[in-house]
Amino acid sequence: MSGNVVEKVVNNELDMTAGLISGVKNFAVTKGVDIFQAIIIFSIGYMICCWLRGVVRRLLARSNGSGNVGGCFWRDWSCYRIGA
């Protein structure tokens, strides 16, 4: 009788483990591709932003204006937002 109980517990654990593995596999198939594409798009956008930052720095270095031209945007924006 005890062997039958152990067999039921083991079968129950195996069913739970198989269900978990099936769920992970299902998630990887359905959402994994979307997550992978999102990571690629984020990486490309980050590289474009870094390149653009370098271009703007080179343009500001070559110009005769102050290097502090774009540095106060957030401060000014917050002052306008608060109304000060």
Give every CB contact of residue 61 below 8 A, 6+ residues apart in sequence: 67
Q: What is the pTM of this model?
A: 0.50
Tokens 């992978």 appear where?
Answer: 36
Please give the Cα distance from 38 to 32 (Å, whole number).
10
Query: What integer pLDDT is reported at residue 21 of this predicted model?
Result: 93
Model confidence over 69-82: pLDDT tens digits?
Answer: 555 555 555 555 55
Characterize 14-48 residue by residue with b for buried, 16 or more Cβ atoms within 10 angstroms of its Cβ, and e for exposed: eeeeeeeeeeeeeeeeeeeeeeeeeeeeeeeeeee
Model confidence over 11-65: pLDDT tens digits?
Answer: 889 999 999 999 999 988 889 889 999 999 999 999 999 899 888 888 877 876 5
Q: 51 is written with which tokens?
A: 């390149």
